A = this chain, B = another copy of it.
């Protein structure tokens, strides 16, 4: 799988060469901690606020409303087709901010490292975070590293928290969905979860299934500009599109009817899901947005999303109804309907 990033491409700077792997002292607040910060994190994230090495970063922010969010990442494996835990850690938090209509500005990064993790692997992860942060237009301004004993922690867990700014007129909420609204999805579903599971199970398909991990700020802002009446935006991560739509149905006290035939699914993802016994509706995405918009603004919203390369496979996939409040219902090609139950847990653990 040639597009799995190669962590060995990272070159270890002095004086980290003395320790080719993480040791307990890298989390101890002494010389080893300082070297890890100075020679690995600072050169990668390269931010003036971070370079001050104070207990907290001090940054400028406009007056008004801030968006705050946090997400921890425990995905296995650490690298996979289309991304890494580092890409997820940046884009996952950027997308949580983007979904409330915010412009993401600042991220913090907290690492829990397992003793024995090769520094080259950590270096590769951090390089991916740097690239993803630049692509998403955010600064990493504060960080923390802890080390846990060998056998705990699975190599690397990452937490990112994010701060964004929300324009005064923006007010998105799952509670705002209304009967008659249209449901849009910004592209093909199920790519991320299927990519992870294919790697874990060692499955080989004709074409490699890659994660859709990507920042959604541009798509979200495009929808808000084209459809100012937009009710709610959500990125369809754990639990997939089905979990997002069920949560919206429950929060707003409405029903959602999904046209199964309208769901965009890559043929290779559909094939893998059939083989693995998964329903793409429940599979995690890391670069797909669900939007609920007033019917009158649906065409404008769809055109705006499709104008972005990340949204070229966007589709209107359903309608909000007054019937069966709190439930997601799927309508098949022949007109039959079925209630789509929210799963108890995730079909695929450790997916993000």
Contacts and interface: CB of A to CB of B under 8 A. Distances in A.
Contact of A346 (B25, B61, B149, B343): B25
Contact of A58 (B100, B144, B235): B100
Minimum-distance CB pairs A-B, first 10:
A25-B345, A28-B346, A29-B238, A161-B161, A63-B63, A28-B345, A29-B239, A70-B108, A56-B69, A159-B159
Contacts of A33: 238-239, 345
Contact of A56 (B34, B63, B100, B157): B100
Interface string A142-159: 111111110111100101
Nearest to A141: B68
Interface stretch (A91-99, A128-136, A292-300): A91-99
Contact of A59 (B59, B65, B284, B345): B65
Interface string A53-65: 1111111111111
A143 B141 CA distance: 20
A66 interface: yes
Contacts of A226: none
A208 interface: no
A42 B255 CA distance: 25
Nearest to A106: B68
Q: Copy number in this complex?
A: 2
A172 B54 contact: yes
Nearest to A243: B29
A12 interface: no
A242 to B, nearest CB: 9
A74 interface: yes
Interface of A: 23-34, 52-74, 95-97, 99-100, 102, 106, 108-112, 141-149, 151-154, 157, 159, 161-164, 166, 172-175, 234-235, 237-239, 243, 247, 251, 284, 342-347, 349-350
A61 B58 contact: no
Given A55-B69, A68-B106, A152 B154 contact: yes
Given A65-B60, A69-B108, A70-B159, A95 B55 contact: yes
B142 A69 contact: yes
A110 B59 contact: no
Which DSSP category, helix, strand, loop or mixed, fits chain A's interface? mixed
A345 to B, nearest CB: 2
B32 A159 contact: no
Contact of A100 (B54, B61, B74): B54
Contact of A102 (B56, B99, B148, B346): B56
B345 A32 contact: yes
Nearest to A75: B146
Contacts of A161: 70, 108, 110, 142, 159, 161
A71 to B, nearest CB: 5
Contacts of A97: 55-56
A346 B70 contact: no
21 contacts: A29-B237, A29-B239, A29-B346, A32-B345, A56-B69, A56-B96, A56-B164, A58-B67, A61-B66, A62-B63, A68-B142, A69-B108, A70-B142, A70-B144, A70-B159, A71-B144, A72-B145, A74-B146, A149-B349, A159-B161, A161-B161
